[in-house]
Structure 1
Amino acid sequence: MGRKYKEPEPTVGNRLILLLVCLVSCGLVYAFVSAVHITNQRPSALKLESLALDEDRATTIEIFEADNRGCCRGIENLELWGAAVKWGSEFKFNNSEGCCNACKSMCTGKDGPCLCDTWVFCGNRRTCGSKFGECWLKKQKDNLAPGRQEAGEVVSWTSGLIYGKGEGIVGMETEYGTLHIKLFPDCAPHSVAYILGLLALHHCAGCHFYRSEGRGQSWDSAGNHINNAAFGPPFALIQGMLEAQGTTFKEIPEEDCPTIRRGSVAWIGSGPAFFISLANHVEWGRAYTVFGSVLPEDMDIAERIATLPTKSDVWNNVKVSVLEKPVPLSIQRIKKRQDI
């Protein structure tokens, strides 16, 4: 009769190997489950004024390259006024983008002040009639308070603003300093129109920051993500509300949504909640309308706000840090700066 094979007794070394295998396996499972849990916090949470990782929107380094694309957006059914620098009856295009780019070409910053800061295009064949394609290039007396001729569904014109070097800068004033913000009307015209409306009120009662989260151990001082670090929390942002008391807020349509960079100022959903990013957030993809950017020299003010005392809260299953004391803010006019 054959001799029965006897299993060898586990040695101490074998036990250690088995233990390590178990630990590594458990760790991988935990990492996978955690990643699924975090990334399932969809941008729908933004309607509850929350920000979290969305893996479906995150792409590769191609996002950064695409950020260099130019914007040429305007507001339909709006005719902006101003002194004409190019008569539309003699200057026509097939689309509004051509008209916008013609204005931009007169505002390169290489030949002194912008000769054109406003474009007006008639693009509705039925209602424009013989004026279809007309592109009027104009110059405002005050491009932070542009003249408006007509607005509404009966208006056939589409209009847009162009801000050149040193122009289109507003101040977000707080007790910790003023954040100078360059507005992007060519990328987010509806958003910028709303900000200019707040500026015209000469007050922003009720506007404030209410959430602050630093860069933690996930991003360096330049806003670059650190390899193998988590994507939050904390999420490297300060978040607030831009809605003046006594006014009726109208949801802002989605506009240009580039990759969020350090200094980006963007809406959460359709507003009026917004945030200023303290880091480059490739992982968020193109999820948010960006309507401006904080000047680099003012980011220390945003960082200061991010260090203020907070308390923990949970929004839509996402852990956040809420300011113990909200920081009031106001929108201020800033004189033109030649160095920007």
Structure 2
Amino acid sequence: MGRKSFEPNATLLNRLILLLVCLGSCGLVYVFLNVITRSGSVSELRIGSTLDLVGENVVGGCCRGVENLELWGSAVKWGSDFKFNTSEGCCNACKSMCTGKDGPCLCDSWVFCGNRQACGSKFGECWLKKQKDSLAPERQEEAPHGETIHWTSGLIFGKGEGIIGLETEHGTLHIKLFPDCAPHTVAYILELLPMRHCAGCQFYRAESRGQSWDSEGNHIKNAGFGPPFALIQGTLEAQGTPFNKLPLEDCPILRRGSVALIGPGPEFFISLADHSEWKQEYTVFGSVLPEDMNVAEKIAALPTLPDVWNNVNVTVLEKPVPFLFRRINKSSQD
């Protein structure tokens, strides 16, 4: 009787030991395979390790580019022997050449060939480049013999780079552009930059922070969320220049100073407060430097008139505020 009760326990113990051994072996195999599949190549594994040392501005950030675009410029890394499986890997490799948080960067543009069929032997090539002028990058306008350009390219702006001036009669708003998060929108802004006059570009709506947000843009507990809605709104459409709708790009939570596109544009706004209550549906293509937010606040304090848009109470400027874009000398921002 005792033996019969003992044998199942011994068998169970043996089976348990065997199960633990199998699970341990499977775990080791999983870890090994996971490392291989995630690394993709020796280059990507090396770059990933480097990125961890660069800072939060690089790791986990955006890494977008524009398809069917080939940027030229002086190569700092030749793509013939530097390859990745994705454009994100190529972009991060460029970011890893920035020293410290937000640059300066030895690489400000990247070019990746990601169409396996069209690229052929060039598939995966990642060219890291440095432009003579990062605000006016060199580009291949069209492929030879009228062929389609199969490359994807992007820009990286380090410290003191990619800052433009939005000049108004009330002061200049210095805006840091985010080409790695909103490459199509930033490309459009760079097209406007050479214009001496941006006729039609103006702010026409102004909403103060009211009693809902403090001077730092923090929402006051138990306060409403507007109106007023803590923003200044305008248009980026220049008269005489055709505007093509822009795609939806990176839409993070809006912070004080965020410069965001409304839908496909050309309407945009500058947020005067943190707006975590709004859905993440606006392309954020830049941010006003903190020291210039007083200019935005000055515009928000101008005389306004009440209006109703889609059953929402808003305030529009009695007199719209025109603006134009200005290049900013990099040395003045260092």
Supply the distance in 2 between the matched residues of 1:235 and 1:110 (Cα, whole angstroms).
32
> Which SS does the other structure have where 1:301 is aligned?
helix
Structure 1 regions of 5+ residues with no counterpart? Answer: 1-64
Query: Is the alpha carbon distance of 1:99 and 1:226 closer, same or farther for their aligned partners in structure 2, counting shifts above 3 Å?
Result: same
2:103 touches 2:158 (CA, 8 Å); kept in 1? no
Q: How does 1:158-197 map to 2 (within 5 A)?
A: 158-197=152-191
2:71 equivalent in structure 1: 80
Supply the distance in 2 between the matched residues of 1:261 and 1:323 (Cα, whole angstroms).
23
- How far apart are residue 109 of structure 1 and its match? 4.1
The reply on whether 1:115 has 2:106 as its aligned counterpart is yes
1:263 touches 1:293 (CA, 8 Å); kept in 2? yes
Q: Which runs of 4+ in 1 moved over 6 A?
A: none
Query: Which among 283, 287, 301 is matched to residue 307 of structure 1?
Result: 301
2:208 touches 2:229 (CA, 8 Å); kept in 1? yes
Query: Which among 156, 165, 182 is matched to residue 150 of structure 2?
Result: 156
2:5 equivalent in structure 1: none
Task: Determine which structure has greater relative contact order: mean sequence separation of CA pairs < 8 Å that are 6+ residues apart, divided by chain length.
Answer: 1
> Which SS does the other structure have where 2:330 is aligned?
coil
The reply on whether 1:298 has 2:292 as its aligned counterpart is yes
Q: What CA deviation, in whole Å up to 9, does each residue of 1:70-105 have, x standing for no partner? A: 000000000001000000001000000000000000
Structure 2 regions of 5+ residues with no counterpart? Answer: 1-55
- How far apart are residue 287 of structure 1 and its match? 1.4
Q: How does 1:1-340 map to 2 (within 5 A)?
A: 69-109=60-100, 113-151=104-142, 154-337=148-331
Pick which of 178-187 and 328-337 moved more: 328-337
Q: What CA deviation, in whole Å up to 9, does each residue of 1:168-218 have, x standing for no partner? A: 000000000000000000000001000000002232111000000100000
Query: Is the alpha carbon distance of 1:90 and 1:295 closer, same or farther for their aligned partners in structure 2, counting shifts above 3 Å?
Result: same
2:178 maps to a residue whose letter is: F
Supply the distance in 2 between the matched residues of 1:305 and 1:202 (Cα, whole angstroms).
22
Supply the distance in 2 between the matched residues of 1:313 and 1:111 (Cα, whole angstroms).
41
Supply the distance in 1 between the matched residues of 2:169 and 2:68 (Cα, whole angstroms).
39
- How far apart are residue 241 of structure 1 and its match? 0.5
1:188 touches 1:255 (CA, 8 Å); kept in 2? yes
Supply the distance in 1 between the matched residues of 2:216 and 2:318 (Cα, whole angstroms).
27
TM-score, normalised relative to structure 1: 0.78
Query: Is the alpha carbon distance of 1:314 and 1:294 closer, same or farther for their aligned partners in structure 2, counting shifts above 3 Å?
Result: same
The count of corresponding residues between Structure 1 and Structure 2 is: 274
Supply the distance in 2 between the matched residues of 1:121 and 1:283 (Cα, whole angstroms).
37
1:54 equivalent in structure 2: none
- How far apart are residue 107 of structure 1 and its match? 1.5
Supply the distance in 1 between the matched residues of 2:277 and 2:194 (Cα, whole angstroms).
36
1:75 maps to a residue whose letter is: V
Query: Is the alpha carbon distance of 1:253 and 1:230 closer, same or farther for their aligned partners in structure 2, counting shifts above 3 Å?
Result: same
Whichever structure has more helix as a proportion of its residues is 2
Supply the distance in 2 between the matched residues of 1:321 and 1:284 (Cα, whole angstroms).
19
Supply the distance in 2 between the matched residues of 1:135 and 1:287 (Cα, whole angstroms).
31
> Which SS does the other structure have where 2:91 is aligned?
helix
TM-score, normalised relative to structure 2: 0.79
> Which SS does the other structure have where 1:158 is aligned?
strand
- How far apart are residue 113 of structure 1 and its match? 3.7
- How far apart are residue 337 of structure 1 and its match? 4.6
